[in-house]
Amino acid sequence: MARILGLDLGSHSVKGVVLEARTKGHATRSFVEVRRAQEGERADTLRAAVTELLGKLPPGHADQVVVALPGPALITHALSLPFSDGKRIEATLPFEVGSLLPFDISDVVYDYQVVSLKETDGKEKASDLLVGVVRKEELKSLVDLLSELKVDPRIVTHPGLAYQNLLQQAAGLFEGSGEGGVVAVVDIGHERTSVAVGKPGTGVQFARTFAGGGRDLSKALATEFQTSLAEAHHWKEQHGAMASAARGPDAERAAAAFTRGLQPLLRELRPTLKAYTARTRQQVGALVICGGTARMPGLAEQLSKDLNLPVRVLALPSDTAESIPTAEQPTAAQAYALALRGNAAGARAPRFNYRRGELAFKGDFDYVKDKLGLLASFAATLLLLLIAFGVVRNSVLSRREAQVDAALCETTQRILGRCEKDYNRALNMLKGVESPAAALPKLSAVNLLAEVTQKVPQDLPVKFDRIQIDTERVILQGETDSSKQVDTLSNALKNHACFKEVKQGKVERTRDGQKVTFRLDVQVQCPGTEGGES
């Protein structure tokens, strides 16, 4: 059973969820979170955190890895094309994307996902696409860093589109999402927020990422209380609350600071929701929030007031509770969604994957290439063994055939006076009427005695005083309890194919009157013989 590691490379912590794929469905095996050092080079802190996370996972933790592109340096475009044919989309996109970029398209990696199809006046449907663009050097740096740690992600996807399979496969998590069933999944991280808007059971229809998140709240708290950012962040994690969850003067003062710190996120989130409505003519009915910041008490309530929409914290499917504690589920949401993405196959699998072209996933190819020499040597050895086996078998069979022919020739020469190597011809000649074997009886006296003994019923009390046997006749004399039992014995012998006729002699009582004496005269002639001879 394949195991998939969904790896969330957050700026504050790295999270990993391992799913085990099964014939029907999947099972959540483990969840690990490791905090990143807040000081030092980003690449170094990420390398150290991923190394520690991999060390905490069970041995042989994953057969494939799926990650979302970290950081806010990701451009997302929503495009509409008047056709839906995949080849035409692939041919057109370089020109469409290139016209939107301030730099050369050869410097970027991009991919797309068809999010909806629309009826047109023509025969072909129009398609709405989400296109994600990232600089090639940034993607290469990430792949190289993970490669140093022996991690080769099969899929590097868009952090918003990572929720595609969660919306499709766990639609029950979003029930009661308001008008039209449209829900926005808002993943509020430390430095970045990702938004995925779509319909449960259908998938993502619009996605975007932008800078802003929990770090802005910590900064606002540090400014309010004139303390360091590290201390403010620690206090936020331990005591932070908003709206009605904030109790006490300090908590209310902190909540006011958090509300100010939330404004940059709201300034990006409101136009994002409006852009979706403008494109689809559908209203977002509710927000479901996740990410580390979503764990703050009262945040959902505050966002509901600011956006005038129902807002709640995302809870993962109930079968994850054993591996992912309820309090950690908002934090684990993206890693879980990424693992689901790796488990998806066929029509349910999104196509979006930045690992294309020169940065395409080569894990399977490299494995086969490394094993190719070994496989070739195995194949050559097997071929040589098969050839040797064929040669030896043919040689042995030839010798055995010569031995059989010699034995048959010797036998026919001795009996018939002529050498015959054809088995069927020799057998017919030996069975012929004029052959020496023709005079041999098929049944001997010993054979007939055995047949008589076998035909006597086991429960019949009989004592034979005389048994006379030759190849043409059997005479039985003896005594038993009654004449009825003599008839039973006679009938039993008649059932034998070679006993042509059974005649009963005189049946008399013994002198003491307890027994009867009898005589049976049996004529022997087997089918296909004349006069008992063959």
The string of pLDDT tens digits covering residues 149-178 is 999 999 999 999 999 988 888 888 887 655
Between 242 and 345, the higher pLDDT residue? 242
| Residue 164 falls inside a structural domain | no
| Residue 280 falls inside a structural domain | no
Q: Which three-class secondary structure state does DSSP give residue 9?
A: strand
Phi and psi at residue 258, in whole multiples of 5°? -60, -40
DSSP string, 397-435: HHHHHHHHHHHHHHHHHHHHSS----HHHHHHHHHSTTS
338 and 423 belong to one structural domain: no
Residue 205 binned pLDDT confidence (cut-offs 50, 70, 90): very high
- Count H helices, E strands: the chain? 14, 18
| Residue 207 falls inside a structural domain | no
Between 123 and 298, the higher pLDDT residue? 298
| Residue 389 falls inside a structural domain | yes
Residue 403 binned pLDDT confidence (cut-offs 50, 70, 90): confident
Phi and psi at residue 523, in whole multiples of 5°? -90, 130
Pick from 431, 453, 472: which residue ends a domain? 431
Which of 17-26, 390-399, 434-443 is predicted least confidently? 434-443
Spatial CB neighbours of 480, under 8 Å, sequence gap ≥ 6: 460, 461, 462, 463, 486, 489, 515, 516, 518
| Segment 412-457, tens digit of pLDDT | 777 777 787 777 777 777 666 455 555 555 567 778 888 888 888 8
419 and 484 belong to one structural domain: no
Between 416 and 39, the higher pLDDT residue? 39
Spatial CB neighbours of 469, under 8 Å, sequence gap ≥ 6: 445, 448, 449, 452, 475
Q: What percent of the chain has pLDDT over 90?
A: 45
| Segment 475-521, tens digit of pLDDT | 988 889 888 888 888 888 888 888 878 888 888 888 888 888 989 89
Residue 531 binned pLDDT confidence (cut-offs 50, 70, 90): very low
| Segment 303-357, tens digit of pLDDT | 999 999 999 999 999 889 899 999 999 999 999 999 988 887 666 677 889 998 8
Between 289 and 458, the higher pLDDT residue? 289
The pTM of the full predicted model, rounded to 2 decimals, is 0.67
32 and 153 belong to one structural domain: yes
**481 DSSP assignment:** S
Q: What is the mean pLDDT of residues 139-144?
A: 92
Between 374 and 246, the higher pLDDT residue? 246
Four-point Cα dihedral 487, 493, 497, 498, nearest 10: -120
**Cβ neighbourhood burial of 479 (10 Å; 0-12, 13-18, 19+):** buried
| Residue 45 falls inside a structural domain | yes
Nearest to 194 by CA among 181, 170, 212, 182: 212
134 and 26 belong to one structural domain: yes
355 and 376 belong to one structural domain: no
| Residue 438 falls inside a structural domain | no
Four-point Cα dihedral 384, 389, 392, 398, nearest 10: -130
| Residue 50 falls inside a structural domain | yes
pLDDT of residue 48: 95
> Mean pLDDT over all residues of the chain?
86
Pick from 363, 388, 422: which residue ends a domain? 363
| Domain harbouring 319, CATH code | 3.30.420.380
**Cβ neighbourhood burial of 489 (10 Å; 0-12, 13-18, 19+):** buried
Residue with tokens 């979503």: 294
Pick from 329, 346, 363: which residue ends a domain? 363
Cross-strand partners of 286: 183
Residue 368 binned pLDDT confidence (cut-offs 50, 70, 90): very low
- Say how many domains are in the chain: 3
CB contact at 8 A, 160 and 196:
yes
347 and 462 belong to one structural domain: no
Q: What is the mean pLDDT of residues 280-284?
A: 90
| Domain harbouring 493, CATH code | 3.30.1360.100
130 and 101 belong to one structural domain: yes
Nearest to 490 by CA among 532, 517, 519, 463: 519
Structural domain span for residue 464? 445-524
67 and 115 belong to one structural domain: yes
| Residue 30 falls inside a structural domain | yes
142 and 10 belong to one structural domain: yes
29 and 56 belong to one structural domain: yes
149 and 56 belong to one structural domain: yes
Nearest to 343 by CA among 133, 168, 204, 175: 168
Task: Kindly tell me if the per-residue pLDDT of 12 is higher than 70.
Answer: yes
Q: What is the mean pLDDT of residues 270-293?
A: 93
Residue 534 binned pLDDT confidence (cut-offs 50, 70, 90): very low
Q: How far is CA 414 from CA 417, 425, 434, in A?
A: 6, 16, 15
9 and 149 belong to one structural domain: yes
Residue 371 binned pLDDT confidence (cut-offs 50, 70, 90): low
Task: Kindly tell me if the per-residue pLDDT of 63 is higher than 90.
Answer: no
Task: Kindly tell me if the per-residue pLDDT of 532 is higher than 70.
Answer: no
